[in-house]
Amino acid sequence: MLKVIKNLLIDCQKYRNDTNIYLQPFFIPHNNDFLENDKLLKDVLGIPADIPGIGVIYLNENKENFHKIVINKSFKNLPQWVQDALLAHEKGHIYYGIKNFDLYSKEYYEDELNCDLYSIEQGYDMYNALLYYMESHPILMSPNRIINLAKATNNSVPLYIKLLNKVIRE
């Protein structure tokens, strides 16, 4: 079971670097904050449409390059408070500047933690949102991120996350 989770994690997350990509302007903005586009999330970040996905993607439109937060349809099935917290996390990436760290590197986790804390500074319950999000789909589970955020915010880590952390080498 844990091996399955680990493989799922690797499959999903190996695509989740901040890949730079140029795309034709085939999308329609959902609002000023983010776009909704299942295909983009799948093609660029490797997140299938049936798993709630959000990420920052580098786009090219009308000869202008910019970073945009992109979500898929499933993302909108998450409770609103979870969506809001995760959206604020991605805004943190734009605020701090998009970096291309190796997945699971020390710098990667520092960047993720900074953006989780950014979300909290904006008034969102990012710790519980992260737990909810990752518990909703095992493929999304990153014990390291939860443990790092718990330490930074004096939250207690659920026992099963501690156990997962011992088994999954991120």
Calpha distance 39→91 (Å, rounded): 21
Residue closer to Zn ion by CB (options 14, 24) is 14
84 or 112: whose CB is closer to Zn ion?
A: 112
- CB 106 → Zn ion: shortest distance, Å? 15
59/93 with CB nearer Zn ion: 93
Minimum distance between the CB of residue 50 and Zn ion, rounded to whole angstroms? 21
Where do the DSSP E strands lie in the chain? 34-36, 54-61, 64-71
**How far is 50 from 74, CA to CA, in rounded Å?**
6
Distance in Å, CB of 23 to Zn ion, minimum: 21
CA–CA distances in Å: residue 77 to residues 40, 71, 82, 120, 152: 18, 11, 10, 22, 28
Residue 158 CB, shortest distance to Zn ion, in Å, is 21
Interacting residues with Zn ion between 90 and 129 (CB under 5 A): 112, 115
Residue 143 backbone class (left: φ over 0; alpha: ψ -120 to 50; beta: rest): alpha
Nearer to Zn ion (CB atom), residue 145 or residue 164: 145
* Interacting residue ranges for Zn ion, rule: CB under 5 A: 112, 115
